Structure 1
Amino acid sequence: MSKRDATIYKVIFLNQGQVYELYARQIRQSDLWGFLEIEEFVFGERTQMLIDPGEERLRGQFEGVQRSFVPLHAIVRIDVVERLGTARISEAKGGNVTPFPLPPLPDKS
C-alpha cells in the first residue's frame, strides 16, 4: 500500500441542521459544479468490544454508497489525518458553525 493509498481525510460538513464528521480515503472536486465528491468511506472495525451508536448510524446511512456529493458551501473543514477517528453526527448549535445564507425560495402561490 503506497503512502497515497494510506491517506485518510476527515471531512466535516453540514447536513440538515447537523454536523457530520466522516472519514474517507478519496475526496475531489466534482464534475458537478459546486460539489465535492467523497469516496471510500472508512469506519471503525466492528470487532471492537464497544460500539458507538452514532458511528453505527452513519455506517447504516452510508452503507452501499459508492460516492457522495456534498455542496461546497456545506463543507466546514477537511483534514488529512494520521489515524482513523470515530465518525459522528452532532447538532449544529450556533457558535462556530453557521450555515451559509441562501436566497429565499420563490413564492409558489
Structure 2
Amino acid sequence: MSKPLYKVTFLNHGKVYELYAHRVASSNALWGFTEVGELVFDVHEGLVIDPTEERLREEFGNTRVLHLPMQSIVRVEEVEKKGASAIRDAASGEKVVTPFPMPARPR
C-alpha cells in the first residue's frame, strides 16, 4: 500500500502556498504547530516545466519538516494524486506568476 498524499494549503508572507506531502501530523515538540514532512515535488530532467514548482523546490527542497503554526493552515486534503503546486495572492486568489529568467540584454 502506498503512502497517503496530502495537499497542504497555508499562508506565508501574504501569499497562499499549496504543497504536497506524505506526512502531516500535530507537532509533539512545538505546541500549536503542525508538522508537514516528506514534501513531494515534480522531478524533471533538463528544462524547467513549471517555474512555480521550481521556485517551491528551491525554497523547500532541503526541508525535512515544516513546522507550520496552526493558524496559518488553510486546508489539508488527502488526495489520490499530485496536482500542480502553486503560490497564490492571498487577497485575490490569483496565481503568482514566477517569470522565467531572462538573459541580460547587451548594451
TM-score normalised per structure 1 = 0.78
Match of 2:58 in 1: 60
Residue type matched to 1:20 in 2?
Y
Give the C-alpha shift of residue 17 in structure 1: 0.2
Q: What is the correspondence of 1:25-44 to structure 2 with a 5 Å cutoff?
A: 25-31=22-28, 32-44=30-42
**CA deviation after TM superposition for structure 1 residue 50, in Å:** 5.9
Letter in 2 for 1:89: I
Structure 1 stretches lacking a partner, 5+ long: 96-109
For residues 66 and 33 of structure 1, the distance between their equivalents in structure 2, rounded to whole angstroms, comes to 19
Provide the C-alpha distance between the structure 2 equivalents of 1:50 and 1:16, rounded to a whole number of angstroms.
25
Once the two structures are superposed, what CA deviation does each residue of 1:15-68 show, in whole Å capped at 9, x if it has no partner?
A: 110000000000100021000000000011314866111110000001211011
Preserved CA contact (<8 Å) 1:8 1:24:
yes
The structure 1 segments of at least 4 consecutive aligned residues displaced by more than 6 Å after TM superposition are: none
Structural RMSD (CA): 1.7
Percentage of matched positions with identical amino acids: 45
What's the counterpart of residue 6 of structure 2?
A: 9
Residue equivalent to 2:80:
82
Q: How many residues align?
A: 92
* TM norm structure 2: 0.79
User: 1:65 is aligned with what amino acid?
Assistant: T
Q: Which residue of 1 aligns with 2:19?
A: 22
Name 2:91's counterpart in structure 1: 93
- Hey, what's the Cα distance between the residues in 2 that align with 1:63 and 1:46? 14
**Unaligned segments of structure 2, at least 5 residues:** 94-107
